[in-house]
Chain A
């Protein structure tokens, strides 16, 4: 599909990086401010969708398979399960145990395993939504040939 006009392209060049950074901020501060893994992951995917919609899929060479994004999604959810199982192996036999030191609530490095969960769930959600969107775009490309 074709891209959009010059105004949209210039605005996207300015904004897309800031949306990406905002998504990372919402994921990392998930245990201090509202947000967390799910909202931040969707915002992260939103920045990629903005780039694809503004510049068109011919520019981004998207007519081949969407190989990379499913790899990240599967690796991220494998890490979540590993983190949950690691509570079983270390000491007390509890699934999903919070085994890192907790620290003072209100600081960035606190709350045990929770920031790690937020990061991996954020990567997983972002890759899922990006894969759904790429499947749609590639389907439309193959139909219109």
Chain B
């Protein structure tokens, strides 16, 4: 049970970073940390003690495999996380070229 609590603590560290930081790069890093904690939680739920990796060897059949369904979901989620982070970085580059700073308070006061 303590593994689940530590994993959620990682999520809460990311949430603290998104709320309190003023620099755009720190906000993007904290968002990425929140995504990683959800991957870990999904992979933890599907684990069984004494199971092997889900690759079938036709010569020697095994009884107990680790659950492949959460692994398929996390595979999809990792690639979607990459797409989201890349798009966020493109927006941040564009904002830096226009306003000259990464700070969100200064960008808010500098309109136009």
Contact = CB atoms under 8 A, between A and B. Distances in A.
What secondary structure prevails in chain A residues at the interface with B?
Answer: helix
Contacts of A106: 57-58
A139 interface: yes
What secondary structure prevails in chain B residues at the interface with A?
Answer: helix
Nearest to A104: B58
Given A38-B79, A143-B97, A105 B58 contact: yes
Contact of B55 (A33, A104, A136, A139): A33
Contacts of B58: 104-106
B3 interface: no
B97 A34 contact: no
Contacts of B78: 38
A125 B83 CA distance: 11
Interface of A: 33-34, 36, 38, 104-106, 125, 129, 132, 135-136, 139, 143
